[in-house]
């Protein structure tokens, strides 16, 4: 099977490409950045070491430098490679400062880019289209509920990123209705793990990556004065759950939460880091002191994942201890990723 993945040099994109290649699929990797490293012409093309790892896997990799807002270019990519299925993840994730500067660009990529890829996929008659949405679409309703349920929790997005992601989600599902396309939206939880990196279009890196980077380099992590309890979902679990949706012969729902089904805190992770890296320590910021690890101002309610479990039989593999062990093994295997 050949799968087209947009946003494929980003954090989740690389995890998806790795999982698809590992099982022998062909992958059309679409990104405005090249996956091939080149210190002079392509210094930010992909996470360090990613191309080397992907190139060793049994599947076939087709890297394409492309802009999802260019509908004609998307048509050419679909015509050349004829993918059977699509995972659309290309997006800009701005913080407040970048919202002021890049509201139009964010809207063009996140919404009009989705329209371009949908149109190309429709004309190519792909078998399934997965739109990678976000837990951010729950917005202002994400903090008071006991859990975030796809059916009962009403999305109320309150940032430009969340608004455009929800608009892209609804657009995708409208295409499902008016064109009888097999389209499904997957709302990603708070992710962390291998290949998370600063792509230049993500405003905030996960607190887990931030504290782990401090630990690898023997620095102290100064945490914000909040617990940081979330249903942190490991990147490999995200990839596995998306592939389960991609492969399911029949889906009962149009929207799925992708989460781990468990919660733990930043402190839980830091305690394990302190045992693994003797030079690392962590503490709360003193009054008036600026933390060097940021993770928001409130903890979003955890995802309900009953649909995912019941519909495709998916069970997350990585709880706190298993994700920590896997992440530490990955750190050891990718030293080039951690060079400063």
Nearest Cα neighbor of 210 from 224, 200, 221, 199 is 221
* pLDDT attached to residue 253: 98
* pLDDT attached to residue 282: 94
* pLDDT attached to residue 46: 75
Backbone angles phi, psi at 128, to 5 degrees: -155, 140
* pLDDT attached to residue 264: 95
DSSP per residue over 116-143, as a string? HHHHHHHHHT-SEEEEEEEGGGGGGGSS
Q: Is the dihedral of CA 84, 167, 64, 234 positive or negative?
A: negative
Torsion of CA 211, 214, 215, 219, to 10 degrees: -130
What the block records as the tokens of 155 is 């999305």
Residues 6+ apart with CB under 8 A from 239: 12, 15, 16, 18, 19
Alpha-carbon 257 to chain mean position:
13
CA atoms of 308 and 248, how far apart (whole Å): 11
CA atoms of 182 and 331, how far apart (whole Å): 38
Splitting the chain (340 residues) into consecutive groups of 10 residues, what average pLDDT does each group show? 96 97 97 74 70 95 95 97 98 88 95 98 98 96 92 96 98 98 97 89 82 96 85 97 97 97 95 96 92 80 96 94 98 90
200, 55 Cβ separation under 8 angstroms = no
Torsion of CA 283, 189, 67, 157, to 10 degrees: -100
CA atoms of 52 and 65, how far apart (whole Å): 18
Nearest Cα neighbor of 179 from 133, 130, 132, 118 is 118
* pLDDT attached to residue 254: 98
Between CA 91 and CA 97, with CA 94 as vertex, the angle to 5 degrees is 160
* pLDDT attached to residue 200: 67
What is the maximum span of the chain, computed from C-alpha positions, in angstroms?
Answer: 59
Domains and CATH numbers, the chain: 2-195+232-262+303-318 (3.40.50.720)
């Amino acid at each position: 099977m050949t799968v087209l993945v947009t946003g494929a040099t980003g954090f989740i994109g690389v995890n998806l490409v790795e999982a698809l290649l590992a099982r022998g699929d062909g992958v059309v990797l679409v990104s405005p950045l090249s996956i091939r490293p080149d210190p002079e012409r392509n210094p930010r093309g992909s996470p360090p070491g990613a191309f080397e790892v992907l190139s060793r896997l049994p599947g076939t990799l087709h890297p394409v430098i492309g802009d999802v807002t260019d509908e004609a270019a998307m048509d050419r990519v679909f015509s050349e490679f004829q993918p059977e299925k699509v995972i659309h993840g290309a997006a800009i994730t701005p913080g407040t400062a970048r919202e002021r500067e890049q509201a139009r660009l964010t809207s063009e990529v996140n919404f009009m880019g989705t329209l371009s890829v949908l149109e190309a996929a429709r004309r190519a008659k792909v078998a399934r289209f997965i739109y990678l949405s976000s837990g951010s679409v729950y917005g202002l309703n994400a903090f008071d509920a006991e859990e975030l349920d796809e059916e009962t929790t009403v999305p109320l997005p309150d940032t430009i990123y969340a608004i455009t992601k929800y608009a892209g989600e609804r657009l995708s599902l409208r295409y499902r209705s008016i064109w009888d396309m097999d389209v499904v939206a997957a709302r990603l939880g708070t992710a962390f793990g291998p290949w998370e990196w600063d792509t230049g279009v993500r405003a905030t890196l996960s607190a887990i990556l931030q504290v782990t980077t401090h630990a690898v380099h023997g620095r102290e992590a100064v945490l914000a004065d909040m617990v940081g309890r979330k249903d942190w979902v490991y990147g490999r679990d995200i990839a596995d759950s998306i592939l389960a949706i991609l492969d399911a012969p029949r889906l009962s729902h149009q929207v799925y939460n992708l989460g781990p089904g468990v919660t733990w805190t930043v402190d839980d992770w830091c305690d394990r880091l302190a045992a693994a890296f003797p030079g690392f320590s962590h503490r709360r910021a003193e009054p008036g002191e600026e933390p060097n690890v940021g993770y928001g101002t409130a903890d979003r309610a955890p995802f309900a994942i009953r649909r995912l479990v019941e519909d495709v039989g998916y069970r997350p593999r990585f709880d706190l201890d298993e994700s920590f062990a896997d992440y530490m093994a990955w750190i050891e295997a990718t030293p080039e990723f951690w060079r400063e």
